[in-house]
Structure 1
Amino acid sequence: METRERKRLLLHILLAALPFWLLDLTLRAATGGAAWYPLYAAAPNLFSLGFGALFTALALLPPRRWGRLLYGLIYAVWAVYAVVQYAVWRILDRVLFLSDFLFAGEGLDFAGYARQIIDGRLAAVAMLLLLWGVLGVWSLPAGKERRQALPLLAAFLLAQGFAPRLYAPVPETLDWDAWESSGYEYERFSSPVYDLALTGPYQFVLHDAWLSVAPDPDGAEKRARVDAFFAERPAHQENEMTGLLAGKNLILVQLESIDDFVLNEQNTPTLARLQREGICFSEFYTPQYSNGYTFNTEFAAQTGLYPYANGNVAYSLSRSAFPDAAGSLFGDAGYTANSFHKSEAKFYNRGAMHQAFGYEQYHSALHYASGELEVGVDRFLVDCDELYARMIDTEPFLDFLITYSGHLGYDEIDALTTYALEQYPEYADDSRPYEINGLFAKARLTDDMFARLLERLAEDGLLENTVLCVYDDHYAYGLTDRAVLEEYSAAAGGRLLERTPCFIWYEGCTPRTVDKTMQTVDLLPTLANLFGLPAPRTLGRDAFDPSYAGCAIFPDGTWLTDAAYVQNGKVVWNDGMAEEEVAEMNAYARRFQEVNDAILDTDYYREI
């Protein structure tokens, strides 16, 4: 082959491999990857060039016509993947691990919501990806160039072997700031946007898949780490609230998107009264570790543990043992435990997961309704005689209700929003964004369920012996305009948006406000204390335990206490914590997360 032809062939091969790197660069830039790891960093670029070589090699194996088709198919799959990840990032400010795609069905239910992010930015990203693909297909060398595939495959293997060595070394001592080490994060792979910035999309998928199936050789070490954590933590101290509600029925209600600025006298008069008359936890936070925001909080409230930040516990841990989860804990005390929600049992794998939590049965309202709109109105859970009968059939009972009416979207094309505004036209206020009107009107539908529930319990003589514990699943992230969300929210932006309502009410309750900082995993041990049940072996703590100062720990290492707020290792505000105390809390936050994952990794509770 003449020198000119060799150079021409080499140029075409390079141009064919280049679009895969350009796709990666476009995605990392569009999702703000530079804020986590430099776009010019060697490791992610080397990974993506290596994969570009691999995909080009595969396309060189068949004749050019079929090779172009294969190249186009491979590129199209990755281009669609990139557009989906960018769209998810626009909505949730994060991207998806492979296991998170199991929630795709929920996303399809709200395609209208996703439509609202189809704008010039999304179109520009899509057009760039299309342009790179056309360049690659056009550049693929003519003729049979199979012999060129071997060095391309070698280039891919070299990139796989060398790129991980370019990350910062893992610290010998894993202090609170270990997450800043790119090598440590590559091993842990727990922060999806950071991980995408570290690796690029191709290695992101490959490494995520490997970690999902790789055996854990450190199981014994992890269990020992958990043992040490629980041994060092102060034992639960009984207090003036211990056993206060022993023997009473409990209805545990997880609200859907009833944020702190949504629950008030105007929007939710019944809920506002119950909160005012009950025990109100005014600094309650619902950190979001998993992309399935609703099930994230559901899992944490039921088990006292957070789900994996890089995995979906609804499908990976349904056979794990949770002997101290809510259903099991109350069931061991003689309670009948059942759960109720709109969706079918297969959604979030609730049929299996709620059984793992100790509930006798998960009841889907869809089996009793005539259609989606009817069952989307929360009051149906109580109005339906068959469902209500299962709630109160045998005392004492634990009922877990998950509301739905407040679910996104809140725009003109959402049927439930339209219905809510028709039922309550007073919320159609032209001075406010339409989505706010929709959010408030849908919250009123949820409030109607509580009014009817109280009425039926009173009619059946059950109200005086029944406790309501109400908490929210997450802040109102379904509002597409974050500026509107921050304007209405009492929080100041950032992680503080995840402060949500939580209260306990029963007849004769002495109104009380608990302003200690709390997080979702604290709810279960707090309830156990109030009902006089054994303290569960969880990461959460009883809110009334005098030895617990209170805190909220978020998946990126951010933490909040009554005295300080530290985000990504940087002090945002400090109201009296010494530097040594801040350092200790930093270390505790990291250890908290490592122990949490170790419990899940090892199915820790099964052995005990």
Structure 2
Amino acid sequence: MIKYDNKSIYSTKRLLFETHAPMLTINKTGLLTMEAIDIWRYTFGFEEKIIIDNDPIIEIEEEKIIEYNVYNIDFDELINNTDKEKVIKMHKYFQSVEPTEKNEYTGIFKDKNLIFITAEGFDAIAVDENITPTLYKMANNSYIFTNYYQPLYPVSTSDGEYMALVGLIPKEGVWSFERTAKISMPLGFGKMFKKEGYTSYGFHNHTSTYYSRDISHKNIGLNFIACGNGLEKKMNCKKWPNSDKEMIEATTSYYINKDEPFATYYMTVSGHLNYNFYGNNMASRNKKLVENLKYSTAVKAYYATQIEFDKAMALLLQELETAGKLDDTLIVIAPDHYPYGLTFKQLNEVSKLDRSNKFENYHTTLIMYNSKLENQVIDKVVSSIDILPTIYNLYGLEFDSRLLMGRDIFSDSEGLAILSDRSWITAKGKYNSVNKTFTKTTDEEVDEEYIKNINKIVNQKFSMSSLILDTNYYKELGI
């Protein structure tokens, strides 16, 4: 274990005067100090110091032709034609980012269908061969991810969706997804697929205006239908929580039999807390299916909610097969966050990992399932911000990998999972930003320069994600 000071990035001085990192600042200096800092910054103004990596851009060797996932952006011209200091720094940063290469996975799902699901409260513990057989089948076939991490950010489910659908790190202290409704989002999920002639619907079986999804999801190109703007005419929206299975029943007709391919998004709600049998409609509905389990009441109630989600997935697979679309559809399922309605003790009743561990609590399951894919185990460290660029590469979409904070999972880039307090995980180990310790997970020697470099990368990703919101940067690029 290395005790690492890292004064250049997260010293107390930088947190107080140069860096906007509320969660890390609270952990290091206390809540009252952070509140005082907020008041000071609100009163007198604050501009975060931007640190640009000035490493030289890698030149492509002539004898080796490599294709990258990039747009043809002339950053030098953009720099010369603006006087906006922040934007100039951003241009220099994104110009310096190494893009991901196109690879053997590029375009293997070109013109195929996609169903992308952010699943409320979904977790590795929800995958059980006997309790949730459909989820078990999907999680253990096709692409099997052993090192997927789903970090929890302050705006909970909305931030979980944001990372998956936008590919950026949420800005601390604001509702990031809501903010995107007012800026240009050309790399948003729906817009990217609509450019390719896809039908792109988004569905949610709860209130359409909650977290301002009615405007944020529309702005990333989704034809968004939820309870309150149309879905209530198709299903019962008066339960709490509502049924994922009923949502599937009510919505597949919107897209499944169309001639053009579809890229459909679902935000589920059946798995929502609280996990009990007296205030949770989905837990009560499936109570008989879990009453003989040898777990605490809360864990049984949690499984009951996930059974409803499992039923929804079983129905979805059936509907796709009936329509003759199953073999030509990739289904992606990611959690919004771990089920924090359960205590660590309750999670550990059924988890294979120690969920009280800072890092293992976020170590969970990502599903990418297609009925025709051969099984492939992916051990690379990945997280939710990697999903969007991975999907774009799999579908052969033209995008610029430098402009998203995640990386194509199937590229040769180093795997990196970033937690909300700026701690991180790579294949070499885990860095705790609060106590500044690095714990190796391999026998490979890791020096302080490596830790310093990853900290710099993490800090830049937070800064650039925030600035993209603040400056309407994609509009500045003209993409």
Specify the TM-score bucket, using the shorter chain as the normaliser. 0.7 to 0.9
Of the three residues 303, 324, 337, the one matched with 2:187 is: 324
The Cα shift of 1:482 comes to 2.3
8 Å contact from structure 1 (residues 345, 362) kept in 2: yes
What percentage of aligned pairs have identical amino acids? 24
Distance 2:217 2:348 in 1: 34
Distance 2:9 2:38 in 1: 27
1:490 paired with 2:352, answer: yes
Of the three residues 407, 425, 431, the one matched with 2:294 is: 431
1:556 paired with 2:421, answer: yes
1:488-540 Cα offsets, whole Å, 9 max, x none, are 33333213211221121122111111110011111011001110111342111
Residues 413-562 of structure 1: matches in 2 within 5 Å? Answer: 413-422=278-287, 425-429=288-292, 431-479=294-342, 481-492=343-354, 493-536=357-400, 537-546=403-412, 548-562=413-427
Summarize the Cα distance change of 1:225–1:263 in structure 2 as closer, same or farther, 3 Å threshold: farther
Distance 2:395 2:225 in 1: 23
Residues 124-203 of structure 1: matches in 2 within 5 Å? Answer: 175-178=8-11, 181-184=14-17, 189=22, 191=24, 193-194=26-27, 197=30, 199=32, 203=36
8 Å contact from structure 1 (residues 278, 504) kept in 2: yes
In the other structure, the counterpart of 1:570 is 437
Letter in 2 for 1:603: N
Summarize the Cα distance change of 1:421–1:324 in structure 2 as closer, same or farther, 3 Å threshold: same
The Cα shift of 1:355 comes to 1.2
Distance 1:595 1:201 in 2: 22
> Normalized against structure 2, the TM-score is what?
0.82
8 Å contact from structure 1 (residues 251, 466) kept in 2: yes
1:361 paired with 2:229, answer: no
Summarize the Cα distance change of 1:348–1:272 in structure 2 as closer, same or farther, 3 Å threshold: same
Of the three residues 386, 389, 403, the one matched with 2:268 is: 403
Letter in 2 for 1:583: K
In the other structure, the counterpart of 2:73 is none
8 Å contact from structure 2 (residues 160, 337) kept in 1: yes
8 Å contact from structure 2 (residues 335, 366) kept in 1: yes
> Normalized against structure 1, the TM-score is what?
0.66
1:523-581 Cα offsets, whole Å, 9 max, x none, are 011001110111342111101112x0111112222010011101112113342242122
8 Å contact from structure 1 (residues 191, 310) kept in 2: no
Letter in 1 for 2:439: V
Of the three residues 116, 122, 145, the one matched with 1:252 is: 116
Summarize the Cα distance change of 1:178–1:598 in structure 2 as closer, same or farther, 3 Å threshold: farther
Letter in 2 for 1:562: A
In the other structure, the counterpart of 2:135 is 271
Summarize the Cα distance change of 1:417–1:208 in structure 2 as closer, same or farther, 3 Å threshold: farther
8 Å contact from structure 2 (residues 248, 312) kept in 1: yes
Of the three residues 149, 155, 168, the one matched with 1:292 is: 155
1:381-433 Cα offsets, whole Å, 9 max, x none, are 1222xx221132532111001111111011232232542333xx241146311
In the other structure, the counterpart of 1:158 is none
8 Å contact from structure 2 (residues 283, 302) kept in 1: no
In the other structure, the counterpart of 2:452 is 583
Letter in 2 for 1:383: E
In the other structure, the counterpart of 1:380 is 246
Give the SS at the match of 1:336: coil
8 Å contact from structure 1 (residues 552, 559) kept in 2: yes
In structure 2, list runs of 5 or more residues that go unmatched: 51-82
The Cα shift of 1:257 comes to 1.1
8 Å contact from structure 2 (residues 152, 338) kept in 1: no
8 Å contact from structure 2 (residues 18, 47) kept in 1: no
Letter in 1 for 2:272: H
Summarize the Cα distance change of 1:498–1:239 in structure 2 as closer, same or farther, 3 Å threshold: same
8 Å contact from structure 1 (residues 178, 184) kept in 2: no
The Cα shift of 1:455 comes to 1.0
The Cα shift of 1:374 comes to 8.1
Distance 1:209 1:317 in 2: 22
Residues 187-226 of structure 1: matches in 2 within 5 Å? Answer: 189=22, 191=24, 193-194=26-27, 197=30, 199=32, 203=36, 206-207=39-40, 210=43, 220-226=84-90
The Cα shift of 1:484 comes to 2.1
In structure 1, list runs of 5 or more residues that go unmatched: 1-170
Summarize the Cα distance change of 1:432–1:313 in structure 2 as closer, same or farther, 3 Å threshold: same
Distance 1:370 1:574 in 2: 49
Distance 2:13 2:339 in 1: 30
Letter in 1 for 2:408: D
Letter in 2 for 1:349: S
Of the three residues 228, 253, 277, the one matched with 1:412 is: 277
Larger Rg: 1
8 Å contact from structure 1 (residues 327, 358) kept in 2: yes
Distance 2:240 2:176 in 1: 30
Distance 1:590 1:465 in 2: 39
Give the SS at the match of 1:317: helix
Letter in 2 for 1:366: E
Summarize the Cα distance change of 1:223–1:190 in structure 2 as closer, same or farther, 3 Å threshold: farther
Greater displacement, 300-309 / 578-587: 578-587
The Cα RMSD (Å) is 2.8
In the other structure, the counterpart of 1:592 is 461
8 Å contact from structure 2 (residues 241, 270) kept in 1: no
8 Å contact from structure 1 (residues 281, 501) kept in 2: yes
Summarize the Cα distance change of 1:418–1:337 in structure 2 as closer, same or farther, 3 Å threshold: closer
Summarize the Cα distance change of 1:570–1:454 in structure 2 as closer, same or farther, 3 Å threshold: same
8 Å contact from structure 1 (residues 259, 500) kept in 2: yes
In the other structure, the counterpart of 2:54 is none
1:280 paired with 2:280, answer: no
Distance 2:397 2:132 in 1: 32
The Cα shift of 1:375 comes to 6.9
The Cα shift of 1:179 comes to 5.5
Give the SS at the match of 1:379: helix
Give the SS at the match of 1:571: strand
Give the SS at the match of 1:363: strand
Summarize the Cα distance change of 1:377–1:187 in structure 2 as closer, same or farther, 3 Å threshold: closer
Letter in 1 for 2:352: A
8 Å contact from structure 2 (residues 320, 326) kept in 1: yes
Distance 2:36 2:125 in 1: 41
Letter in 1 for 2:160: T
